Amino acid sequence: MKKNVLLVALLSVCALASCEQGPKTINYKLTLEDTFSLDGKTGVIEMEGKVGDELPTNVVSTNQYYVFDGWYLGEQKVTTVQAANDNYSMKYLDNTPTISFAETTASLYVTQTIKVNPTVTKFTDAITYTVEDKTIASVDKDGNVQGLKQGETKLKASLTDKIYAELKLVVKDTVVDLSVNKDNFDFTGVFSEKPVVKSKGNQNSFAKLTGAAGKFYVAESKVKVLTPDAGDTWSRVGISHLKADEALNTYYGLQVSPGSNYNARKTVTMLITDGNVQRGNITDRSQVWGQHNLGALNFDEIKLTSVRKGDEFFSFVNDQLYYYDNGVDALKGVDSYPILNVGSAAAEFSAISTKFGEKEVNDFLAKADNSDYFAADDKTKIENGKITFSGASDSTCALNAKDHAAKSLGIKAALPAEKEATLSFDLKCVAFGGRDALPALAVTTNRYDGAYAEARSMVIGQYKAGWTGWNSNGNLNDGIGSGGVTYKVNDEETRLEEGSTYHVEFKRVMEAEGQDNILKITDKDGHILLENKWGWVNDGYKGRVNINFLNRDFDCEISNIKIVEAE
């Protein structure tokens, strides 16, 4: 006898026995395992067929259990029977399949692929995956999701139209543009909250940071120089500015170099086009005003920060302002991108971040561009607003005044544009050295337009003071400058005495033709030793200037430094 006849026969017998309630039909959803109870015993029903079948097929009966081979989903009519004598009945217990995700949100990066793995119960058929916004992410039949662009969307994993689970997808942009110079860098570390970019061996290349081109942004990274080229004095790393055009072949900015044989450390600014250095635009900044005691830099980890504010460019090393330029011909009025660049070196960039927009830049500079002074060597100490120069008495300080110096680039040690202002300080003379013909302190200002090179110095020696104009790409001029003016009290020549303290006022005045400078020196008794206006006003410049103290074989202390703007 066929198996399905057994069930029919059973139904007929129950009907002939005048079951008290008779056969009845109910509708319910069949799933992987449907459990029935017969007189307290449990039977497992597995079904095959299609929606709409009146009765399941392939029925077997063993010890009052009813087993249906195979299964399917859908609404199915099933007949239950109650017999008056033995009170057998079949009851449906809901065993609907479920699908769920362990988390409510999944994050990934543009171009990254992840696999989603929902948890499914009571079902083994294929899951159907769909993404709500197909421009943000894509998904294949196996649940592999790829980020396409930054944004948020939903992923649905479905068993049926009514049985599904949803997952929020958050697609983040990578910190670097993975399509630019991808063969020169290892970008596998960018799919992380702490992205890492490594150059593939010693490169002359750049990694373009992600973001819209513009004129206002802040870019930061920690850098580890892995293998600088021992034979290349231009071995370097930096965060620079890439001209935003189709060629993507012109970039500019400050770069830090461990130097040839890793000991000739320096900072340089470079304009590079088509891989060629534009020689007229290179400045060896370490030999100018930005040395910052470069020998102390640890190239295992250097923090670099690059800021563009319109046509102004700021570069920070370990949160100290190293470099400023106002106006670069190749980028004037032109949008740019921040880039990580490396030359004749292998490097690893980490802790990479970018901020875009004028407000972000202004907020950053309001806190960052307030540096006071930094020491150019270990014989220059800056503590609690006091600057101390030593090494003249025992011949241990540098004789190059640029190397034995307290310097500044920040707004805190600057005289403003278009205003008269006075820098004042107390100068204690400790010891005049014997190696320089005219030991002196040079109070120096640097113009803040174009290349940061032109300097004016008030040179304060033991017997007289002078003024000199010079290009700080070279060395401070020899001597006292401009012939000098002798110190006098009541028409009697005098000098600065060791152990004595003097008050110095350096005033910047504005004339129709440009800036001029007045130097005034007073002793502790109020006697004016010198007050002189230098009379050089033909440069036409009235913009911002920064204050630097350069020292030439002169032990001294500078305290009570104040800058007062005219009303």
CA 13 – CA 45 distance, rounded (Å): 21
SS3 letters across 349-365: EEEEEEEECHHHHHHHH
> Which of 23, 46, 80 is the C-terminal boundary of a domain?
80
**Same-domain status, 386 and 355:** no
The pLDDT of residue 421: 96
CATH number of the CATH domain containing 296: 2.60.120.200
Residue 334 counted as domain residue: yes
Burial of 423 (0-12, 13-18, 19+ CB in 10 A): buried
57 Cβ contact list (under 8 Å, min separation 6): 4, 48, 49, 68
Q: Are 529 and 494 spatial neighbours (Cβ–Cβ below 8 Å)?
A: yes
**Same-domain status, 283 and 380:** no
CA 129 – CA 510 distance, rounded (Å): 73
350 Cβ contact list (under 8 Å, min separation 6): 194, 195, 196, 197, 221, 222, 223, 224
Task: Give the count of beta carbons closer than 10 Å to the beta carbon of residue 401.
Answer: 25
> Which of 327, 350, 367 is the C-terminal boundary of a domain?
367
- Domain of residue 45 covers 3-80
Q: Are 290 and 407 spatial neighbours (Cβ–Cβ below 8 Å)?
A: yes
Q: What is the number of structural domains in the chain?
A: 4
Burial of 294 (0-12, 13-18, 19+ CB in 10 A): buried
The pLDDT of residue 299: 87
Look up residue 283 and give its two tokens: 């400045």
CA 512 – CA 122 distance, rounded (Å): 90
Q: Tokens 């293998």 appear where?
A: 227
Q: What is the largest CA-CA distance in the chain?
A: 144
Backbone angles phi, psi at 353, to 5 degrees: -150, 155
Look up residue 177 and give its two tokens: 């543009």
Residue 90 counted as domain residue: no
pTM: 0.65
557 Cβ contact list (under 8 Å, min separation 6): 386, 387, 388, 389, 427, 428, 430
Task: Give the count of beta carbons closer than 10 Å to the beta carbon of residue 450.
Answer: 12
Look up residue 530 and give its two tokens: 């010198």
The pLDDT of residue 122: 67
Radius of gyration for the alpha carbons in the chain, expressed in angstroms and rounded: 40
**Same-domain status, 329 and 258:** yes
**Same-domain status, 497 and 531:** yes
> Which of 33, 50, 80 is the C-terminal boundary of a domain?
80
**Same-domain status, 422 and 550:** yes
**Same-domain status, 168 and 195:** no
**Same-domain status, 151 and 191:** no
**Same-domain status, 358 and 381:** no
The pLDDT of residue 224: 94
pLDDT single digits (tens) 424-477: 999 999 999 999 999 999 999 988 765 556 789 999 999 999 999 988 767 899
pLDDT single digits (tens) 389-425: 999 999 999 999 988 999 887 778 889 889 999 999 9
Backbone angles phi, psi at 3, to 5 degrees: -60, -40
Backbone angles phi, psi at 487, to 5 degrees: -75, 135
Q: Tokens 């032990």 appear where?
A: 555
Closest to 496 (Cα-Cα) out of 413, 399, 420, 427: 427
Residue 253 counted as domain residue: yes
Q: Are 54 and 29 spatial neighbours (Cβ–Cβ below 8 Å)?
A: no
Q: Is 449 helix (H, G, I), strand (E, B) or coil?
A: coil
Burial of 563 (0-12, 13-18, 19+ CB in 10 A): middle
Interstrand relation of 336-345 and 185-186 (parallel, antiparallel or unpaired):
unpaired
CA 72 – CA 54 distance, rounded (Å): 14
**Same-domain status, 76 and 221:** no
The pLDDT of residue 452: 58
50 Cβ contact list (under 8 Å, min separation 6): 72, 74
| pLDDT digits (tens), the chain, 567 positions | 222 222 322 232 232 233 333 333 333 333 334 444 333 433 334 333 333 333 343 333 333 333 332 233 333 333 333 333 333 333 344 456 789 999 999 999 999 999 999 998 866 568 999 999 999 999 999 999 999 999 999 999 998 888 899 999 999 999 999 999 999 999 999 999 899 999 998 888 999 999 999 999 999 999 999 887 767 777 889 999 999 998 999 999 988 888 766 666 778 888 888 878 776 666 655 444 444 566 778 889 999 999 999 998 988 888 887 777 777 888 999 999 999 999 888 999 999 999 999 999 999 998 886 667 888 889 999 998 899 999 999 999 999 998 899 988 777 888 988 999 999 999 999 999 999 999 999 999 988 765 556 789 999 999 999 999 988 767 899 999 888 999 999 999 999 999 999 999 999 999 988 899 999 999 999 999 999 999 888 778 888 888 999 999 999 999 999 999 998
**Same-domain status, 555 and 460:** yes
Look up residue 555 and give its two tokens: 């032990």
